[in-house]
Structure 1
Amino acid sequence: MRSLCVAAVVAGMMFSSCSEAQTKETAGAEATEKQEKSGKKKGKKGKKNAEAIANLTQVGTMSGVPESSGLALTGEAGSFFTHGDDGTQPILYKISTAGKTLSQLDIPVKSHDWESITRDTNGHVYIGDVGNNNNSRQDLVIYRLNPGNVQQVQEIHLNYLDQKDFPPAKEERNFDCEATLWHAGKVYLFTKDRAQEQTSKVYAVPDQPGNYTAQQVTRLAIPGQVTDAALSPDGRRLVLLARQEMFVLEGNSFEEILKATPRQVSLKGAGQTEGAVFTDNNTLYISNEQGALYTYTF
C-alpha cells in the first residue's frame, strides 16, 4: 500500500512538472507571438507615421549602404554620395535618387568615425572623420578628394580652440560633430551637444589641406542633437538635421542665417535621420540609418 502511495505521489509530481513546463512553454510562445505581432504593428505604425509627416515622402530604400550617415551631390543629375557610419569600411557609395547603389569608391584612408560629407563648387568632396562620441579624440580629420581620382587624398587636420581636456567634464561635452558644410572656401562644423542638448557650436576651418585650430563662429540654440547640415543652392536656407526632426534657419546671406532663430520641424516616425542635401531651393533629400530615402518639400 505504501509503495502504491509513493508511486502515486511521484506520478503526480511528474505530471505537475510536465504541466508546468508545458504552461511555461505555451506562455513563452504566446509572449513571443505577441511581441512579433507588436513589432509588426509598431513597424506599420512607424511607416504610417512617416507617411503622415507633412511634405515628407519616401522615395526609395538603400539596400547596399550600411547605416547611411551623410548625403552630398555628385555633380551628376539623379545621384548622391553617401557613406556608412562608425565602424564601417572607408567606402563612398554613389546612389540614385531612389536609393539604388550605382557604384562604390574605395577611399585609401582609415575610417575612424565618418559622420558627414559635403561638396564644393569645384567638385571636391570633404569627408568628415570627426565623430567624437566620447569627446576624447585628438586625431580629427576631414578628407578632401576628387571623386575622379580617389588615390590622391588631402587631409585637413583640426582641433577645437576651446577644448582643453580629452574628455572634458560631462557637462562640457559638446565637441562631437556629425554635420559639416562647405561654403565659400571654408568647411563649417556643427557640434552635437551630448551634454545638454541645447547648443550646437559652429566652427570653421579652411578647405585646404593643413593643420588648423578650428575657430568658433557662433553658437546656435538647438534643442536636439545635430546629425547633418545642408544649405539650399541660393544660400538662403540652412537645415540642421537631427534625429527625427530638423531645424530650419533662413536669411538673405549665410552670415544672416547664422543669426536667425531656428524653426523646429518634427520628423517623428522617419527613423534615425542622418543625411541631408538640397537638390533645389525647395527640395531636401534625407536619408536614415535604416536605409530609407525621403524628400522633404518646402
Structure 2
Amino acid sequence: MIYIKRLIFLIFIVSSCQSIGQLKIESRIINELKEVSAAEIGKDSDIVWVIQDAGNRNNLIGLDKKGHIARNILISNAKNKDWEDLTSDREGNIYIGDFGNNNKKQKTFKIYKVNHDDLNTDSAVAEIIEFTLPEDQKPEDFESFFIYNNSFYIFSKENKTFSVLKVKNSIGKQVAELHSEYKFNGKNNKITSADISDNGKTVILLNHDKLWEITNFERDDFFSGDVTEHKFDHNSQKEGICFKTDSTIIITDERKDFEGGYIYSFSLN
C-alpha cells in the first residue's frame, strides 16, 4: 500500500509539470532535513536559508537551487528551544525567531541575530534580543515574524483571533508591545510564517493550504489594508515563506512520509 501511494504521488508530480496546484516545485530539499520550519533569502544571494524546529540542532542552514546544503552554520551560543521563523534586514543580517510555545506556558522568548559577515563561516556567535510578553498578555504560540522599520512584528498561531506583538530590534532585554489583534474569515487560519516585501508594500502570511496577501495599508497598521486570500489546492505542513521578488514567493514545507520536503515558488500576479 505504501509503495502504491508513493507511485501515485510520483506520477502526480511528473504529470503536473513539476507543479502542485498553483505551486511550482523548484527543488526537493535534501532528505536529512525533515522539519524545515522557515525560509529566508538574504541580501545579494540566491541561497534559501532555513532552520529546523524544536528538538533539532541549533544550525542555520543555507540551501542551493537543488535543495542541497550550501551553508551549515552552528550558532554556538544558542539553543534550539523552538525555532520557528527567519527574517532579515537591509544589511543582510539574519534573525532566528525562537518563540514557539506549543504548551502556552512560556513567557520569555529570544531572537538570535546572525551577522551578515558570519554567513560564510561554519560557526557563529549570535547577538540576542530577549523579550517578555506585555503585562496581562496571556502566553500564546508564535510561529512567524518579519522586520519592518527596525521593529519585529510577531504573529501568534491561532485559529480565531490572533495577536501581533511589536518588538524593537535592539540587543538585550525588553518587553513586547501588543500591536494589534485580528481575525480572518473562515476556519483553519493558523499563521505558520510571514514576510514583508522589500518595498514595504505587501505583507504575506502563510497557512498549510493558503496564504494571505495584505496591501494598501497605512504605516504599520497592516490590517487597515486589503486582504486577499490565495488558496493553493494543496495541503501540507507549510512553515516557511519569503519574498524572492516583490511578486514571487518562496515556500517550504516539512517532509512527511513521501510527501513534502520541497521548495516551491508562487506568483502573486
Report 1:60-79 matches (<5 A).
Answer: 60-63=27-30, 64-79=32-47
The residue number in structure 2 matching 1:158 is: 131
Cα shift at 1:88: 0.7
Cα shift at 1:126: 1.1
Mapped to 1, the partners of 2:79 and 2:136 lie a distance apart of 24
CA deviations on 1:220-256 (whole Å, 9 max, x unpaired) are 2235110110112221111100112111111155435
The residue number in structure 2 matching 1:12 is: none
The residue number in structure 1 matching 2:179 is: 217
CA deviations on 1:8-60 (whole Å, 9 max, x unpaired) are xxxxxxxxxxxxxxxxxxxxxxxxx4x65356446755887893523x21110
Cα shift at 1:287: 0.5
**What secondary structure, in the 3-state scheme, does the structure 2 residue paired with 1:140 have?**
strand
Report the more deviating stretch, 156-165 or 122-131.
156-165
The residue number in structure 1 matching 2:88 is: 119
**What secondary structure, in the 3-state scheme, does the structure 2 residue paired with 1:258 have?**
helix
The answer to whether the aligner puts 1:286 opposite 2:265 as a matched pair is no
Q: Which amino acid aligns with 1:75?
A: K
- Could you tell me the TM-score, scaled by structure 1's length? 0.77
The residue number in structure 2 matching 1:128 is: 97
**What secondary structure, in the 3-state scheme, does the structure 2 residue paired with 1:148 have?**
helix
Report 1:1-298 matches (<5 A).
Answer: 33=1, 36-38=3-5, 40-41=7-8, 51-54=19-22, 56-63=23-30, 64-108=32-76, 109-149=78-118, 151-163=124-136, 175-193=140-158, 197-222=159-184, 223=187, 224-251=189-216, 253-290=218-255, 291-298=261-268
Mapped to 2, the partners of 1:218 and 1:164 lie a distance apart of 12
Q: CA RMSD, aligned part only? A: 2.3
Mapped to 2, the partners of 1:296 and 1:151 lie a distance apart of 32
Check conservation: 2:107, 2:133, Cα contact below 8 A. Answer: no
- Higher share in helix: 1
Mapped to 2, the partners of 1:251 and 1:82 lie a distance apart of 29
Mapped to 1, the partners of 2:83 and 2:228 lie a distance apart of 27
User: Alignment length, in residue pairs?
Assistant: 253
Cα shift at 1:213: 1.5
Structure 1 residues 130 and 46 mapped into 2: Cα distance closer, same or farther (>3 Å)? Answer: farther
CA deviations on 1:65-102 (whole Å, 9 max, x unpaired) are 33111111222332121111221100111112332211
CA deviations on 1:99-138 (whole Å, 9 max, x unpaired) are 2211200001111000011001122211100000111113
Q: Which amino acid aligns with 1:240?
A: L
Q: Which amino acid aligns with 2:64?
A: S
**What secondary structure, in the 3-state scheme, does the structure 2 residue paired with 1:67 have?**
coil
CA deviations on 1:147-176 (whole Å, 9 max, x unpaired) are 43353322111122155666xxxxxxxx11
Larger radius of gyration: 1
Mapped to 1, the partners of 2:15 and 2:254 lie a distance apart of 18
Q: Which amino acid aligns with 2:267?
A: T
Check conservation: 1:235, 1:252, Cα contact below 8 A. Answer: no
